[in-house]
Amino acid sequence: MTRLDGKISDLYDEVVARNPGEAEFHQAVHEVFDSLGLVLAQHPHYADAGIIKRLCEPERQIIFRVPWVDDDGRVQINRGFRVEFNSALGPYKGGLRFHPTVYLGVMKFLGFEQIFKNALTGLPIGGGKGGADFDPKGRSDGEVMRFCQSFMTELYRHIGEYTDVPAGDTGVGGREIGYLFGQYKRITNRYESGVLTGKGLAWGGSQVRTEATGYGVVYFVQEMLAASGAQFDGRRVVVSGSGNVALHAIEKVQQLGGHVVACSDSNGYVIDDKGIDLAALKQVKEVERGRISDYVEHRGESARSVTSGSIWDVPADIAIPCATQNELDADGAQALIDNGCQIVAEGANMPCTPDAIRAFARAGVRFAPGKAANAGGVATSALEMQQNASRDSWSFEHTEDRLSDIMSAIHHTCLATADEYGVPGDYVLGANIASFTHVADAMLSLGVI
Ligand SMILES: NC(=O)C1=CN([C@@H]2O[C@H](COP(=O)(O)OP(=O)(O)OC[C@H]3O[C@@H](n4cnc5c(N)ncnc54)[C@H](O)[C@@H]3O)[C@@H](O)[C@H]2O)C=CC1
Ligand SMILES: O=C(O)CCC(=O)C(=O)O
């Protein structure tokens, strides 16, 4: 990572020293700090009031044991987390991730990002994140249910409609939210719909929440194209991943006239010259829960599977990384640049390494950071909270219109802030500065807490 300037560099060194061994958290903090020099030059009072230090220290970090019994009758132990990072703008809000790579550093990077992402939505939600080092892959429904019930048996005492509102993330979808909500309801004897989002449509969920992150990132790209008078219009798009965010990003690109030619999972990627067939992909990933290579069997000659190399070698006008953190490095960025890619928008959280982002900037590739581009998911969660609070349920069309308006407003905020600070077109600086000042001003109003 590059060296930061002056006072902000000392603050960064302090964060690293206070949070040893948490590389992903350091990376997320560094990315935000890299934008703050410009703000502090004009508004030194943010540093004087200790706002930056306070922002880097979670308000509360909960770590707990999650014991459960597998199908063979063996006792399994996992570690659960909830990092309640910042509640200046509203109750802590952010997803739960179930994945074997989960540890405190990943939870803190995701919770830290969530503060700024949620601020950009303009909705009253603070930032938090949670999860467990549980691997749902290969587990039966019964095992997933018992795990979720045990996880909630501790988590329930920390969350609530006005306190902390978890949702899904990697490894946590509708099935898991159902089991978590069921256990919360049972323990508390309260039908508190607003305690979780991403619920089923029959029991308090919102239309469009499932689709929202993937649709939202594509709406954001549509705005980036429109800013230079362009449209999707048959442009070649590569989307990494094949989970919730990727599937719905592919769907929306296709609806808007783009041509998605490749997608992936952790085993490799597929290229389909005729364009990814979404029905076949959903069959493989959502019904059969198979590998991405199985897609080829559904498609015949137009598709092929690649298990070595990188999806970023596939020529594309637009790249939308939707899988996981640090999946697109400097080599991947160079391959995209060499093939003429013009736009990269992060559907996942922090999928591009700092070197990749610098390479895009040098090459003039327009780059949208996740905290702006993938904010549609959490924004629609906040819309779900609004519907729960008013005991209402909106139509798909109305909710999607709200999502599209929110993504357009975030795009406008990024560019307007970048202009204001003399860095036109810089989405990273625009997103970081706009969200930082929003949260920082709220924190200043609330006093030293
Ligand atoms: N679900 C949501 O509403 C939101 C998710 N995100 C972020 O989007 C990303 C994906 O999340 P979801 O789609 O919800 O998770 P998911 O669990 O539904 O899907 C993850 C996908 O990524 C693939 N994958 C994992 N590691 C990979 C690798 N190294 N290379 C290629 N593919 C890989 C998996 O095979 C799977 O297809 C995560 O970074 C998550 O934090 C961000 C905002 C909201
Ligand atoms: O909908 C939510 O509350 C969480 C979404 C999320 O985890 C994210 O934006 O990364």
**CATH number of the structural domain spanning residue 51:** 1.10.285.10
Q: What would the pLDDT profile of 94-153 be if each residue is shown by its tens digit?
A: 999 999 999 999 999 999 999 999 999 999 999 999 999 999 999 999 999 999 999 999
- Specify if 437 maps to a domain: no
- Point out the ligand 2 atom lying closest to the alpha carbon of residue 378: 1
Indicate whether 101 and 145 sit together in one domain: yes
Are the C-beta atoms of 303 and 270 separated by less than 8 Å?
A: yes
Whether 2 has a pLDDT exceeding 90, the answer reads no
Indicate whether 291 and 355 sit together in one domain: yes
Band (pLDDT 50/70/90 cuts) for residue 343 is very high
Indicate whether 48 and 65 sit together in one domain: no
- Specify if 197 maps to a domain: no
Instruction: Using alpha carbons, select from 266, 312, 274 the residue that is nearest to residue 293.
Output: 266
**What's the total number of domains in the chain?**
3
Are the C-beta atoms of 217 and 347 separated by less than 8 Å?
A: yes
Indicate whether 275 and 317 sit together in one domain: yes
Tell me how far the alpha carbon of residue 246 lies from the centroid of ligand 1, in angstroms. 7
Q: Left if phi > 0, otherwise alpha if psi is -120 to 50, otherwise beta: which for 287?
A: alpha
- Specify if 382 maps to a domain: no
Decide: 167 in ligand 2 pocket, CB within 6 A.
yes
Domain housing 28: 6-55
Q: Is 213 annotated as a binding residue?
A: yes
Indicate whether 79 and 166 sit together in one domain: yes
Q: Is 381 annotated as a binding residue?
A: yes
- Point out the ligand 1 atom lying closest to the alpha carbon of residue 347: 8
- Point out the ligand 2 atom lying closest to the alpha carbon of residue 95: 7
Whether 4 has a pLDDT exceeding 90, the answer reads no
Which pLDDT score is estimated for 48?
A: 85
Percent with pLDDT over 70 in the chain? 100
Tell me how far the alpha carbon of residue 245 lies from the centroid of ligand 1, in angstroms. 6
Please tell me the pTM assigned to this model: 0.97
The helix/strand count (H/E) of the chain reads as 17, 12
Q: Is 163 annotated as a binding residue?
A: no
Decide: 346 in ligand 1 pocket, CB within 6 A.
no
**Closest Cα to atom 7 of ligand 2:** 95
Which pLDDT score is estimated for 338?
A: 98
- Point out the ligand 2 atom lying closest to the alpha carbon of residue 166: 3
Which pLDDT score is estimated for 5?
A: 73
- Amino acid identity for residue 141 in this structure: D
- Specify if 396 maps to a domain: no
Are the C-beta atoms of 384 and 203 separated by less than 8 Å?
A: no
Decide: 349 in ligand 1 pocket, CB within 6 A.
yes
Indicate whether 177 and 77 sit together in one domain: yes
Q: Left if phi > 0, otherwise alpha if psi is -120 to 50, otherwise beta: which for 268?
A: left
Whether 3 has a pLDDT exceeding 80, the answer reads no
pLDDT average, residue stretch 364-369:
98
Residue ranges of the alpha helices (H) in 133-277? 141-155, 174-188, 209-227, 244-255
Separation of CA 55 from chain center: 19
Indicate whether 45 and 69 sit together in one domain: no
Indicate whether 85 and 180 sit together in one domain: yes
- Specify if 278 maps to a domain: yes
Indicate whether 225 and 362 sit together in one domain: yes
| Rounded distance between C-alpha atoms, residue 205 and residue 413, angstroms | 29
**Closest Cα to atom 5 of ligand 1:** 169
ipTM above 0.95, yes or no: yes
Q: Is 117 annotated as a binding residue?
A: yes
* Whether residue 7 lies in the annotated active site: no
Lowest mean pLDDT across 74-88, 237-251, 297-311? 297-311
DSSP string over 105-141: HHHHHHHHHHHHHHHHTTSS-EEEEEEES---TT--H
- Specify if 1 maps to a domain: no
- Specify if 223 maps to a domain: yes
Active-site position among 129, 199, 252, 285: 129
